[in-house]
Amino acid sequence: MMRFKILVLVGLLPVAALSSEPAPKDPFRDIERFIKTIQKTHDDKFEGSITSILNILQRALQSDKAMVEFYLGAFQNVRFGEGEQAALMMMTWKEKNASLYQSTNFKNALRLHIMFLQSALLKKGGWEDKALDLSMKIVQKAATRMNRIRQYGFIRKPLSTSPIINMGARKSVLQGIKDWYMGPLSNITEMHRQNVIAVMRNAEDLKVFIEWENNINMEKAFAEKSKDPNEMVRFRKERLPALKWQMAIDYAAFKEYRKAMDIIVAALKPNPTHPQFDRMMADLKKWLEEARQQDVKK
């Protein structure tokens, strides 16, 4: 009887359990191992590269002399190349443009440009809090200086065109950065909206509304200082209502519907022919309905 029970139990075991042969190896294990290894190598080199460039930029900011020499070295490399002939051409250029790169305005502009590069690299490296803090410092400085530094090429052009970032292996370092403004720093109000306000919005930081007020005041100040006599009129009739509308959208996102609606009413009342009138009205009607539903639930 005992022998019969053992045979029955053995008959119920899976065939694999009776086999002494090892389980077949994964034929793609080498690929999986490669993916993990190469990804780690890439990440380590990537972070090391960004950290290295950030350190270089920080050293350049230690003094005006170091900063200007650093920039001129990059400028020579990109514009004239390397070698004796390039050095002679750069020497001639420096003699002709000495008053340009020795001026206070140039140094202030260059410092902001390098800080702007740093903020983008911090963003790419995943240090978003530091990128936000630095962006706020850039905005504070640029708000009072922009009219004096706007003429410089590295302020008027996208960040990707900077000589500093277009030397050798640095050329690709800004690629792949998402949700971060890297256009001309001369458009400092747009940079502020994307690199400060949008970041605070995503973090659900209530200080976003302080930044909205700062942004609107900055646009107003630029319009007042504009040489175009019609710029202030355009600001009041078009830009101001549009900016107020964007701020109202953020208030609505925080379910502050009354505040959002009051802002839209104030924006549209003197501007019933605004180009975005229909879209603003659609939002106003939607918020009114949501506000009523919110009130019922209370």
Confidence of residue 25 (pLDDT cuts 50, 70, 90): confident
Task: Give yes or no for residue 10 having a pLDDT over 70.
Answer: no
pLDDT of the residue at 229: 86
- What's the confidence (pLDDT) of residue 286? 97
CA-CA distance, 144 to 156, in Å (whole number)? 17
What pLDDT is stored for residue 198 in this prediction?
97
The pLDDT score that the predictor gives to residue 41 is 63
CA distance from start to end of the chain: 77
Q: 180 vs 91, 96, 132, CA distance in Å?
A: 37, 37, 10
Amino acid 168: pLDDT? 64
Which of the two residues, 204 and 40, has the higher pLDDT score?
Answer: 204
Predicted pLDDT at 154: 94
According to the model, what pLDDT value does residue 23 have?
61
**Would you kindly state where each structural domain of the chain is located, as residue ranges?**
46-166+180-187
The model carries a pTM of: 0.81
By three-state DSSP, how is residue 21 classified? coil
Give the per-residue pLDDT at 131: 97
Residue 128 has pLDDT above 50, yes or no: yes
Residues 225-233: contacts with CB under 8 Å, at least 24 apart: 225/147
Residue 1 pLDDT > 50: no
pLDDT confidence bin for 29, thresholds 50/70/90: confident
The 10 Å Cβ neighbour count of residue 136 is 18
Check residue 178 and report its DSSP letter.
-
Which residue did the predictor score with more confidence, 41 or 208?
208
| C-alpha span between 263 and 247 (Å, rounded) | 8
How does residue 148 score in pLDDT terms, banded at 50, 70 and 90? very high
- Percent of the chain scoring above 70 in pLDDT: 87
Q: What is the mean pLDDT of the chain?
A: 88
Higher confidence at residue 138 or residue 77? 138
**Tens of pLDDT along 258-282?**
999 999 999 999 999 999 999 999 9
Residues 6+ apart with CB under 8 A from 61: 67, 111, 114, 115
pLDDT above 90 for 16 = no
Segment among 39-53, 153-167, 232-246, 256-270 with least mean pLDDT: 39-53
The pair of structure tokens assigned to 89 is: 């051409």
Q: For residues 2 and 14, give the distance between their C-alpha atoms in angstroms, rounded to a whole number.
A: 21
pLDDT at 19 over 90: no
DSSP 199-244: HHHHTT-TTHHHHHHHHHHHHHHHHHH-S-TTHHHHIIIIIHHHHH
Q: 223-242, pLDDT tens digit by residue?
A: 999 889 899 999 999 999 99
User: Around Cβ 88, how many Cβ atoms within 10 Å?
Assistant: 11
Give the residue with greater pLDDT, 169 vs 291: 291
Look at residue 273 in the predicted model and tell me its pLDDT: 94
